[in-house]
């Protein structure tokens, strides 16, 4: 089976898992094992697809939009799967996180999987470190988004669906911790990116659009982390802020490199 078919199969698994996670809320039968199998199987097939492409092209999946979306879909699904595995009481969050990933899947299907070549400035281990930290950061924020989604759905009146989950203040605390984890890895991503940039282009920071907006994301995360101990906002407000930060980070991670004339991509 070729890499493209493996990818479709993996995405099919993710979609089934997402639909099952949503259905699980309404049907009082536990499909946890099925969802876990679909997620794990999808992640493995997707990893195989990415690996085959990596081996064929000789570089990691981070040059074209197709590669960036595909590798982030994989890393974010890994984050969701690990959370699903380690936090069995909070598996209902998959009903929020997996449908969120449907956006990436739909976008991925629209992009061209054409082969890419690695620019010479991308041939450094710091690039992998930079990207790896970024993926962990976004994964942690996505998990926080899933937890916050439950708080927001409860606020919207869907209390019965999540009756067996811990109360919202506790969920808010856990969400805050994942945001803090995201902040730490986002900071590491910035530092590793600066080292790569210095190696590749001779400067560690140049205020290009991607750098500037990534710094905005970092400041937004810092703002969120300060707001909670300062104002003790109710869980609903905290959850809203998590979602706002995620949407902003999502647009920066996936939007800026492809709408700007001179992001990282423009200075290869």
Partner 1 sequence: MGQKNAVSTEGGASPNPSQNDQATGNDHASRNWISWLVDKAASLKFSLAVLLLLLGGLPLSAQGLISATALLTVGGGLFIINLAAALHHHSTFHAQPGLIVFHTALMVLLAAAVVSRLTYFKGAVELTQGEWFQGVAQAEERGPWHSDRLRELRFSHEGFTVDYAPGLKRGATRNQIRWLASDGTMQNSTIGDDISLDMEGYRFRTTANKGFALVLLWIPIDGSQPMHASIHLPSYPATLEQVRHWRIPQTGIRTKATLLLDEVVVDPEQSSQFHLPRRYRLRLAMGDGSVHLLKEGSRLHFTEGILVFEGLRTWMGYRIHYDPAMNWLLASSMTAIFGLAWHYYRQCMRNRWDDDQGL
Which of 56, 226 has the CB closer to partner 1? 226
Q: Which of 3, 1, 42 is nearest to 19 (CA)?
A: 42
Least separation in angstroms between CB 117 and partner 1: 4
Least separation in angstroms between CB 113 and partner 1: 17
Cα–Cα distance measured from residue 149 to residue 33, given in angstroms and rounded to the nearest whole number:
22
Which of 27, 119 has the CB closer to partner 1? 119
Cα–Cα distance measured from residue 176 to residue 6, given in angstroms and rounded to the nearest whole number:
36
Cα–Cα distance measured from residue 56 to residue 209, given in angstroms and rounded to the nearest whole number:
32
232 Rama sector, left if φ>0, alpha if ψ -120 to 50, beta otherwise: left
Least separation in angstroms between CB 118 and partner 1: 9
Which of 87, 102 has the CB closer to partner 1? 87
Which of 4, 203 has the CB closer to partner 1? 203
Which of 14, 250 has the CB closer to partner 1? 250
**DSSP structure class, residue 118:** -
What is the 3 state secondary structure string of 157-202?
CCCHHHCCCCCHHHHHHHHHHHHHHHHHHHHHHHHHHHHHHHHHHC
Least separation in angstroms between CB 23 and partner 1: 26
Least separation in angstroms between CB 222 and partner 1: 6
Interface positions with partner 1 (CB under 8 A): 117, 119-121, 123-124, 166, 169-170, 172-174, 176-177, 180-181, 183-184, 187-188, 190-191, 194-195, 198-204, 207, 209, 212, 215-216, 219-220, 222-223, 226-230, 232, 268
């Amino acid at each position: 089976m070729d890499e493209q078919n493996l990818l479709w199969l993996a995405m099919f698994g993710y979609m089934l898992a997402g639909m099952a996670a949503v259905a699980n809320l309404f049907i009082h039968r536990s499909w946890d094992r099925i969802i876990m199998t679909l997620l794990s199987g999808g992640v493995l097939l997707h990893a195989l697809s990415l690996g085959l492409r990596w081996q064929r092209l000789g570089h990691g999946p981070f040059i074209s939009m197709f590669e960036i979306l595909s590798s982030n879909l994989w890393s974010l699904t890994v984050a969701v799967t690990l959370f699903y595995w380690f936090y069995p009481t909070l598996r209902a969050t998959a009903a929020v996180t997996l449908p969120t990933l449907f956006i990436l899947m739909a976008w991925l299907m629209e992009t061209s999987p054409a082969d890419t070549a690695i620019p010479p400035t991308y041939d450094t281990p710091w690039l992998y470190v930079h990207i790896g930290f970024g993926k962990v950061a976004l994964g942690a924020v996505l998990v926080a988004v899933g937890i916050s989604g439950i708080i927001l759905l409860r606020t919207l009146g869907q209390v019965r669906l999540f009756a067996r989950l811990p109360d919202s203040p506790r969920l808010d605390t856990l969400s805050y911790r994942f945001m803090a984890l995201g902040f730490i890895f986002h900071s590491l991503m910035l530092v590793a990116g600066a080292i790569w940039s210095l190696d590749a282009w001779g400067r560690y920071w140049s205020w290009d659009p991607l750098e500037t907006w990534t710094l905005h994301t970092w400041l937004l995360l810092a703002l969120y982390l300060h707001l909670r101990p300062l104002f003790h906002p109710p869980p609903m407000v905290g959850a809203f802020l998590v979602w706002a930060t995620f949407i902003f980070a999502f647009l920066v991670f996936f939007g800026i490199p492809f709408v700007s004339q001179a992001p990282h991509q423009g200075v290869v």
